[in-house]
Structure 1
Amino acid sequence: METKPNVKMIRIDERLIHGQGQLWIKSLGVNLVICANDKVSSDGMQQSLMKSVVPQDVGLRFWNIERTAKVIWKAADTQSIFVVVSSPKDVLALAEQGFPVKEINVGNIHAKTGKEKVSQFIYLGEEDKLALRTLRDKYGCTFNTKTSPVSNDGAQSLDNLEKILK
């Protein structure tokens, strides 16, 4: 039997890896960051920009969703992992392919027409809501909405998120 990989956190952030990500990396004490995104996995320019904000002693992988779901089970016991995706749909795709998902940090989903405001940083469209409900109801996932590891801004937006997902 394969041992469960040491995934410290899965974060949904449309920006993927950026300056704020450094705070999460440090706070979680991870030694590997996986950017699970079909588009960025083959976009060298985006990868270069993201590499510039990750400490050099932290491993960084740019994998598509399918590869992330497969390869995670090969993680060494010594790896502590932070996974970043751009949308609830991507987390759902990971879960559907067997990736171990328990708690999800819903961090940053931009405002667009047709999206409902959860907080200053989180706006959900119907597809987002459906994916999060499925993650909650079918996969038993829980959510947190902290914008950064040092903030205690998550409670109100988490209440809003739970109301919207009812």
Structure 2
Amino acid sequence: MPNIVLSRIDERLVHGQVGVQWVGFVNANLVIVANDVVAKDEIQQNLMEMVVADGIGIRFWSLQKTIDTIHKAADRQKILLVCKNPSDFLTLVNGGIELSRINVGNMHFIQGKEQIHKTVSVDENDISAFKALQEKGIESYIQGVPTEKETDLYTLL
């Protein structure tokens, strides 16, 4: 089983909060960005690579490659796994990746979404995915940065 030290939903994927604060807080040495679009976009990859400190590995994998490959990780790899939304994590879990908790950082407000927390807005697809994750026994909590208090996401749905 891979040593996933943090699973995080963040629409921005890797930026200062993830690449510096969270990586350091959970002592991760590998960031896996599981996203079908970014896996094919070298410009986005280059921008995200700039944020991660020297000595921290970063991989940009499609959801399927993540499912197929993450179990090969060595125990010494402390993985921060980041996706854009709960549906992507549901795909990973349904594909056999074991998770117990998901940190929810940023899910921006756009037309058709309801803001449930200062940094989290959801639509029906998000709610459905979160409920499916909850049914699988996976905790989801909102916490933008490590110094913030955790908020149980399910109490806000």
Smaller-chain TM-score range? over 0.9
- Tell me which residue corresponds to 1:10: 7
Q: Which of 130, 154, 157 pairs up with 1:162?
A: 154
C-alpha separation in 2, matches of 1:10 and 1:69: 14
Once the two structures are TM-superposed, the CA of residue 164 in structure 1 deviates from its matched residue by 4.1
Please tell me whether residue 140 in structure 1 is matched to residue 132 in structure 2. Answer: no
Tell me the secondary structure at the aligned position of residue 148 of structure 1.
Answer: coil
Amino acid at match of 1:8: V
CA distance 1:102–1:130, shift in 2 (3 Å): same
- Tell me which residue corresponds to 2:115: 117
Once the two structures are TM-superposed, the CA of residue 162 in structure 1 deviates from its matched residue by 2.1
C-alpha separation in 1, matches of 2:118 and 2:56: 30
CA distance 1:164–1:150, shift in 2 (3 Å): closer
C-alpha separation in 1, matches of 2:52 and 2:61: 16
Quick check: which one's strand share is greater?
A: 2
Give the TM-score taking structure 2 as reference length.
0.96
C-alpha separation in 1, matches of 2:73 and 2:155: 36
C-alpha separation in 2, matches of 1:162 and 1:42: 33
Alignment RMSD (CA, Å): 1.0
- Tell me which residue corresponds to 1:19: 16
Q: Which of 78, 82, 91 pairs up with 1:93?
A: 91
Once the two structures are TM-superposed, the CA of residue 19 in structure 1 deviates from its matched residue by 0.8
C-alpha separation in 2, matches of 1:113 and 1:164: 19
In structure 2, the gaps of 5 or more residues are none
Give the TM-score taking structure 1 as reference length.
0.91
C-alpha separation in 2, matches of 1:57 and 1:150: 24
C-alpha separation in 2, matches of 1:71 and 1:100: 13
Amino acid at match of 1:162: Y
CA distance 1:164–1:151, shift in 2 (3 Å): closer
